Structure 1
Amino acid sequence: MVTPSMPTPPIAPMLAKVAAELPAADGFLFEPKWDGFRAIVFSNKDGIVIQSRDLKPLNRYFPELEKALAAVLPKGCILDGEVVVVRGSALDFDALQQRIHPAPSRIARLAKETPASFVAFDLLAAGGKSTMTLPQAQRRERLERLLGKPKSPLHLTPVTRDRAEAQQWLERFEGAGLDGVIAKLESATYQPAKRAMLKIKHVRSADCVVAGFRWYKDHEDAIGSLLLGLYDEAGVLHHVGVASSFTLEMRQTLVDELASLREGALENHPWRAGDDESAEDGQRLPGAQSRWSGDKDLSWQALRPERVAEVKYDHLQGMRFRHAATFLRWRPDKAPADCRYDQLEVTTPFELAKIFG
């Protein structure tokens, strides 16, 4: 029998596909879904390698985490997990995003101000040997033995076989900044780059003002995404995200459907200064370039903010939708002025420390 050797970087992480609800069948392990940067950590004779989901090294951005993991992880192990930043009693994805910065001085400062943690949820190698062909349940047992009772900044994600408990996690843990629940078959091997897990996320709807759009792949015969807005208590319209899940037929139909709203749209448009990240009054605007957008074209076309769309979203990150929203329907019965932040569900705070027991 050939002993599986220690894998070397990079390893494409195993992925998840979206499910509407927790699976009812037996044989699943449930874990909280962490809202951070997916990462695979290699501990070998040369030190620690922190690899991102897209197979790039993350060490330079998280020097404090590299040092801490090198001190506690045995050589010859590989962990799959999530890099997170904790602020107060919850995760802070905004602060985590700020950690990816080109300036070494900024990296050093943020490493002290907003230190990162690593939440482990799978074991890909131990003792210099691959464990990826083992069933998920066995990998979890070995992960628990390897880490014991880890101390911050290393954490072991909770796990349960109880669907009712997992449903409680889905309802309660969002207040600590978590992003849903992951379901994994106990019998499944680790399958790099395959969608072999299920993710169950919070689903909500909101009525939003449609105040602009972007073209579909640089073609001016189809709409790529609709720019969504919500009013705050002062009556300021903030750009909160986009809806982009359309068939090609609908993308083409939208061009004619929205044509009349383009006439004179920029004259008094609330986002007419939209090449900045925010206006002087803190208003969120579209079109801002960032280190996350790279060379992506963020130019947009204005629409008079007179139409309302109902969209499906998972949760807010600050004052914006965390991910792209899904268009559900037009709401001709809804006045744009009624599309306010106060319609959104308020998440009950939950102490992150309770999740780690």
Structure 2
Amino acid sequence: MLAKAVKDVPAADAVEGGYSYEPKWDGFRCLVRKDGDDVELISRGKKPLTRYFPELVAAIREHLPGSAVVDGEVVVRSGEPGAQRLDWEALGQRIHPAESRITRLSQETPAELIAFDLLAVGDEDVTDSPFAERRERLESLFDGMAKGAPLHLTRVTRDADEARVWFTRFEGAGLDGVVAKALASPYSPGKRTMLKIKHKRTAEAVVTGYRVHKSGQGVGSLLLGLYQDGQLFNVGGIAAFTAQRRLELVEELEPLVRRDADGNVEHAETDRSRFSSGKDVSFVPLRPERVVEVAFDQLEGWRFRHTVQFLRWRPDRDPESCTLDQIDRAAAYDLGEVLD
């Protein structure tokens, strides 16, 4: 079951039967299938996640009673107690081929499960039941959950005003926004029957280079940088361009291409990561003279999260004025307060 993006939290009576609201978690969407001692974790894209989270599999086996299929989010938290937040980078590092690293990270950055829907209990398929009923049965499944277990039931409210408070407050703990679910709706796999309200911000960034499109024609993505203490740091990129625009950008950016004394394009590569180890990370470097305004969801550490959207060129902006300090960050909020 997927979510359609909308701009604002809808009124509770905007749909027949009313809405239920809950926080939007920023982790790996996951289906948990438990049949006795057999536990399987499956991503939204139907990829197996079980081997990467042995500590979570053990916790589900120990604490989740009976057999069930639960929809939820796998997350990792970081920070000291009282000042914790979701840590996307630490979560991403958990997907690694080496068994020794999986074992080590399961102890250093243990994962937790946030449950928010129920598909089956025992041999009973409950996907045709309305969400209000599925939620009640999910609460019963989690009733009596051992204190300290890394399995959590997401909080819900039927008060739109409270959901709007959550939207603002919980961002400081690394959450993505708010989700609205129709209380009368069945579970509909693959259909966008939920509504999601996500944070949107804008910033000015320096274009530091571009990657050639996989077709070999035009710009595939623009690479972005922000200054901190006089140094330019890579913070992400923009990739959504039409075929025509990709070709136009090559011509527009040609005067900025950095070349050596012989007129050849200078060689440049971005840092490799676990996701790019087998990919071409080279790019065409540009003199940092052009500024672009972008829309984004959030900045985690020194990187834009999720999709970054091109808004407009900003010829009026000095590139060195594009600093990390300009980014509007949410006030810190303890993740523990969201989970309690």
Asked whether the two chains share a fold, i.e. TM above 0.5, the reply is yes
- TM-superposed CA distance for 1:126, in Å, is 0.8
Aligned counterpart, 1:320: 303
The code of the aligned residue for 1:33 comes to: K
Aligned counterpart, 2:225: 229
- TM-superposed CA distance for 1:242, in Å, is 0.7
- TM-superposed CA distance for 1:22, in Å, is 1.6
CA contact (8 A) 1:76 1:129 kept: no
Contiguous gaps of at least 5 residues in structure 1 = 1-13, 276-285
- TM-superposed CA distance for 1:356, in Å, is 2.3
CA contact (8 A) 1:265 1:303 kept: no
Aligned counterpart, 1:353: 336
CA contact (8 A) 1:183 1:199 kept: yes
Q: Aligned pair 1:21/2:25, yes or no?
A: no
Q: How many angstroms apart in 2 are the aligned matches of 1:339 and 1:266?
A: 29
Aligned counterpart, 1:58: 49
Partner secondary structure for residue 144 of structure 1: helix
- TM-superposed CA distance for 1:253, in Å, is 2.1
CA contact (8 A) 2:267 2:283 kept: no
Contiguous gaps of at least 5 residues in structure 2 = none
Q: How many angstroms apart in 1 are the aligned matches of 2:185 and 2:209?
A: 45
Aligned counterpart, 2:110: 115
Q: Aligned pair 1:80/2:74, yes or no?
A: no
Q: How many angstroms apart in 2 are the aligned matches of 1:266 and 1:329?
A: 33
The code of the aligned residue for 2:182 comes to: L
Q: How many angstroms apart in 2 are the aligned matches of 1:22 and 1:266?
A: 57
1:34-73 correspondence to structure 2 within 5 Å? 34-73=25-64
Aligned counterpart, 1:4: none
Q: 1:161 to 1:273 in 2, by over 3 A?
A: farther
Please give the per-residue CA displacement for 1:121-166, whole angstroms capped at 9, x wherever unaligned: 0001012211111111111111111111534200000111111111
Q: How many angstroms apart in 2 are the aligned matches of 1:305 and 1:324?
A: 22
Question: How many residues get paired?
Answer: 327
Please give the per-residue CA displacement for 1:289-333, whole angstroms capped at 9, x wherever unaligned: 333236444332111111000000110121000123100000010
Q: Aligned pair 1:159/2:152, yes or no?
A: no
Aligned counterpart, 2:316: 333
CA contact (8 A) 1:230 1:238 kept: yes
CA contact (8 A) 2:267 2:282 kept: no
Aligned counterpart, 1:7: none
CA contact (8 A) 2:268 2:282 kept: no
Task: Compute the TM-score of the two structures, normalised by the length of structure 1.
Answer: 0.86
Q: How many angstroms apart in 1 are the aligned matches of 2:288 and 2:186?
A: 50
Aligned counterpart, 1:10: none
CA contact (8 A) 1:207 1:309 kept: yes
1:210-289 correspondence to structure 2 within 5 Å? 210-220=207-217, 222-233=218-229, 235-262=230-257, 264=259, 274-275=268-269, 286=270, 288-289=271-272
Q: 1:249 to 1:54 in 2, by over 3 A?
A: same
1:62-211 correspondence to structure 2 within 5 Å? 62-88=53-79, 89-150=84-145, 151=147, 152-211=149-208
After superposing on structure 2, the runs of 4+ consecutive aligned residues of structure 1 that deviate more than 3 Å are: 272-275, 293-298
Q: How many angstroms apart in 2 are the aligned matches of 1:202 and 1:334?
A: 25
- TM-superposed CA distance for 1:274, in Å, is 4.6
Q: How many angstroms apart in 1 are the aligned matches of 2:307 and 2:329?
A: 19
Q: How many angstroms apart in 1 are the aligned matches of 2:132 and 2:220?
A: 42
Q: 1:154 to 1:46 in 2, by over 3 A?
A: closer
Q: Report the identity percentage.
A: 52
Partner secondary structure for residue 312 of structure 2: strand
CA contact (8 A) 1:41 1:80 kept: yes
Q: 1:218 to 1:298 in 2, by over 3 A?
A: farther
Q: How many angstroms apart in 2 are the aligned matches of 1:59 and 1:262?
A: 45
Please give the per-residue CA displacement for 1:144-192, whole angstroms capped at 9, x wherever unaligned: 1111153420000011111111111110101111111111122221111
Q: How many angstroms apart in 2 are the aligned matches of 1:92 and 1:263?
A: 36
**Which range is displaced more, 155-164 or 294-303?**
294-303
- TM-superposed CA distance for 1:195, in Å, is 2.0
Q: How many angstroms apart in 1 are the aligned matches of 2:309 and 2:128?
A: 37
Q: How many angstroms apart in 2 are the aligned matches of 1:261 and 1:91?
A: 39
CA contact (8 A) 1:84 1:117 kept: yes
The code of the aligned residue for 1:146 comes to: L
The code of the aligned residue for 1:23 comes to: P
CA contact (8 A) 1:44 1:76 kept: yes
Q: How many angstroms apart in 2 are the aligned matches of 1:274 and 1:341?
A: 23
Partner secondary structure for residue 152 of structure 2: strand
The code of the aligned residue for 1:155 comes to: H
Aligned counterpart, 1:32: 23
